Amino acid sequence: MKTICIFNQKGGVGKTTTNINLCSGLAMMGYKVLAIDIDPQGNTTSGLGFDKTSLKYSIYDILTSSDVKISDAIIQSQLVDNLYLIPANMDLAGAEVEMIESKDREKILKEKLKEYDTEFDFIFIDCPPSLGILTLNALTACDSVIIPIQCEFYALEGVGQLINTINLVRKSLNKDLEVEGVIMTMYDSRTNLCNEVFKEVKNYFKDKVYNTKIPRNIRLAEAPSFGLPILLYDDKCRGAEAYDKLTKEFIKRQEVK
């Protein structure tokens, strides 16, 4: 079992899209997957077809009530076999303040996961676009991070800060935290800019960068509004092909490790 966090403190770089489609893709391949949504926007939750307004328990309860267990908050996908979710909604926005008084507040998720007798092949955590206590809980609970980087002019500006954060977490909260991989998203190979950004990212992260690049594809942006992963929304589109290829590349790397 491996716990992976989809992390980049920048918003809109494709974290949630990657989380939804990697989790679904792996589940469709037969792996048992738990997606944890730790973003108050709850986009993984709605993108996987769940109603954010009618949740019994969510990640909020996991983080703020000592008597709510992981098993209480897991819901099963009706669309994809083998896929499970711990959902999130706007309740979570208040969690950071409520957690200020908690002891070891960065470690709550890690401790709860440890208590839970897991039966998953992979757990993926979709981070919010910030470096607050929610993200720290995710980074403390995981074995490794996948970093989506959007192909744009300012792409590398945030990377220094991102690496600083990972190093800080390694020092104090999670010394074995690894970079699992780096994904180029919204990629357009026809533009010089994309090619330049890719070269720089490759220079920095070397073989951590996945060979599969995710193109900008309108179908990927449409699918969440139907609550569907891309493979169920339009399995022939370029976005679906790319995420399918990425899922296979991800698994291949796991086998090498």
Q: Which residues bind ligand ADP (CB under 6 A)?
A: 11-17, 43, 129, 185-186, 214, 216-217, 220-221, 224, 239
Whose CA is closest to 222, among 6, 50, 47?
47
Asked if 150 contacts 13 with a C-beta cutoff of 8 angstroms, the reply is yes
> Which of 136, 23, 140, 147 has its CA nearest to residue 86?
23
Measured from the CB of residue 144, what is the shortest distance to Mg ion in angstroms? 19
Contact letters for Mg ion, residues 39-68 (x by CB under 5 A):
----x-------------------------
- Residue 18 CB, shortest distance to Mg ion, in Å, is 9
Structure-token match 């007798």, residue found: 117
* Residue 3, contacted partner among ligand ADP, Mg ion, none, CB below 5-8 A by kind: none
Taking CB under 5 A as the rule, does residue 18 contact Mg ion?
no
Contact status, residue 108 vs residue 62, Cβ threshold 8 Å: yes
Neighbours of 233 (CB within 10 A): 19
Q: Which does 160 bind (CB under 5 to 8 A by kind): Mg ion, ligand ADP, none?
A: none
Task: Quote the least distance from Cβ 111 to ligand ADP, whole Å.
Answer: 26
186 binds, among ligand ADP, Mg ion, none (CB under 5 to 8 A by kind): ligand ADP
Distances 29 to 18, 219, 228, 231 between C-alpha atoms, Å = 16, 22, 17, 12
Of the pair 13, 62, the CB lying nearest Mg ion is at 13
